[in-house]
């Protein structure tokens, strides 16, 4: 591998704080493959965006993220400024170290440090699609972010909000446990959706997943046929289900056999617009981060970002 100017960005709080405890081991593992690199820790939300952006402007050619899906989302956003990629030749490398690493599953990146570093140093860089989402912030304004893997609205946003709240309260609660507790009380929302300008049948939605990658929600194969480089979103929408009906079919989401269910639909497109029909607040999450609500517009940016992967 050609020697590249390399910056490592570490989220020490990822993997429930285990990344900080294991950092000396992770650092030595990286150094076994790449002798010369700089590293910085994130200290607060959105830090990784600014760290990545500053590094790329300084000539960094390879940015390695150490963390989970949210960390990689922030780093990827740092590759862009003013809606343009800063350096099209800059590459993202991933060392999985998080409670949620669904992106690495979609990219076929192994979890073991040695194997992940082998991908970074030996696999060729591939240009993947990214999604650009314009959404309403919790404060009522408008914001724009890049996402890499999956964005979804409905129950997924509620679950991520609950997981984050438990984390702030320093309480231990798994994604699955939060999903179950949310589903018991959740009522499907009426949402109007257009895909490439064509309105899909109206109804009450449990989940609306805008999938670039295949996997979300700690391993659920929501879009089993999605590809990260085909220039299309796989929009998977699930109409309202009762709790027991969802539980009875939940295992199909894990193995990717749910698309034949009469309440689950798939349509592909490059632009997806979603807005609530009533006054209901419909939460939105992307790459495991809950940052806003509908209305939102999701736009495909084809083959925009170079990533080291086993695709």
CATH number of the domain bearing residue 171: 2.60.200.40
Report how many domains make up the chain.
2
Write out the two tokens for 170: 């320093």
In this structure, are 149 and 255 located in the same domain? Answer: yes
Asked whether residue 60 is assigned to any structural domain, the reply reads yes
Among the three residues 97, 123, 149, which one is the final residue of a domain in this structure?
123
Q: What is the pLDDT of residues 8-19, one digit of tens each?
A: 999 999 998 999
In this structure, are 138 and 206 located in the same domain? Answer: yes
Asked whether residue 207 is assigned to any structural domain, the reply reads yes
Cα–Cα distance measured from residue 278 to residue 190, given in angstroms and rounded to the nearest whole number: 7
Write out the two tokens for 32: 């076994």
In this structure, are 109 and 179 located in the same domain? Answer: no
Q: What is the pLDDT of residues 64-104, one digit of tens each?
A: 999 999 999 999 999 999 999 999 999 999 999 988 789 99
Asked whether residue 147 is assigned to any structural domain, the reply reads yes
Is pLDDT at 27 greater than 90 in this prediction? yes
Cα–Cα distance measured from residue 87 to residue 305, given in angstroms and rounded to the nearest whole number: 10
Which residues form the domain of 180? Answer: 131-302
Average confidence (pLDDT) over 134-154: 95
How many residues are recorded in the chain?
A: 311
Q: Could you give the count of Cα atoms lying within 13 Å of 186 in the half-sphere of its Cβ?
A: 31
In this structure, are 157 and 244 located in the same domain? Answer: yes
For strands 289-308 and 271-276, give the pairing: antiparallel
pLDDT for residue 173: 57
In this structure, are 107 and 151 located in the same domain? Answer: no
Closest CA to 232 of 133, 130, 158: 130
Instruction: Kindly report the pTM of this predicted structure.
Output: 0.93
In this structure, are 32 and 157 located in the same domain? Answer: no
Question: 171 falls in which pLDDT band (50, 70, 90)?
Answer: low
In this structure, are 228 and 97 located in the same domain? Answer: no
In this structure, are 96 and 200 located in the same domain? Answer: no
Asked whether residue 309 is assigned to any structural domain, the reply reads no
């Amino acid at each position: 591998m050609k020697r590249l100017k390399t910056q490592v960005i570490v989220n020490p709080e990822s993997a429930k704080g285990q990344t900080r405890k294991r950092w000396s081991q992770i650092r030595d593992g990286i150094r076994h493959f790449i002798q010369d690199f700089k590293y910085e820790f994130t200290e607060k939300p959105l830090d990784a965006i600014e760290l990545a952006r500053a590094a790329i402007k300084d000539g960094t050619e390879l940015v390695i993220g150490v963390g989970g899906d949210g960390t990689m989302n922030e780093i990827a956003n740092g590759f862009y400024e003013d809606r343009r990629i800063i350096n099209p030749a800059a590459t993202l490398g991933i060392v999985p170290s998080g409670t949620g690493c669904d992106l690495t599953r979609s990219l076929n990146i192994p979890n073991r440090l040695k194997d992940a570093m082998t991908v970074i140093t030996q696999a060729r860089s591939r240009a993947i699609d990214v999604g650009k989402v314009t959404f309403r912030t919790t404060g009522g304004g408008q914001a724009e972010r890049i996402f890499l893997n999956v964005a979804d609205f409905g129950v997924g946003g509620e679950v991520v909000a609950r997981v984050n709240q438990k984390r702030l309260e320093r309480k231990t609660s798994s994604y699955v446990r939060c999903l179950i507790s949310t589903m018991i009380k959740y009522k499907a929302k009426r949402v109007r959706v257009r895909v490439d300008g064509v309105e899909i049948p109206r109804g009450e939605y449990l989940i609306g997943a805008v999938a670039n990658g295949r996997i979300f929600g700690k391993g659920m194969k929501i879009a089993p046929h999605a590809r990260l480089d085909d220039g299309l979103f796989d929009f998977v929408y699930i109409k309202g289900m009762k709790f027991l009906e969802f539980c009875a079919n939940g295992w199909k989401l894990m193995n990717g056999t749910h698309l034949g269910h009469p309440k689950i639909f798939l349509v592909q497109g490059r632009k997806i617009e979603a807005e609530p029909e009533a006054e209901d607040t419909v939460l939105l999450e992307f790459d495991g981060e809950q940052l806003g609500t509908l209305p939102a517009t999701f736009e495909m940016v084809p083959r925009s970002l170079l990533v080291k992967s086993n695709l």
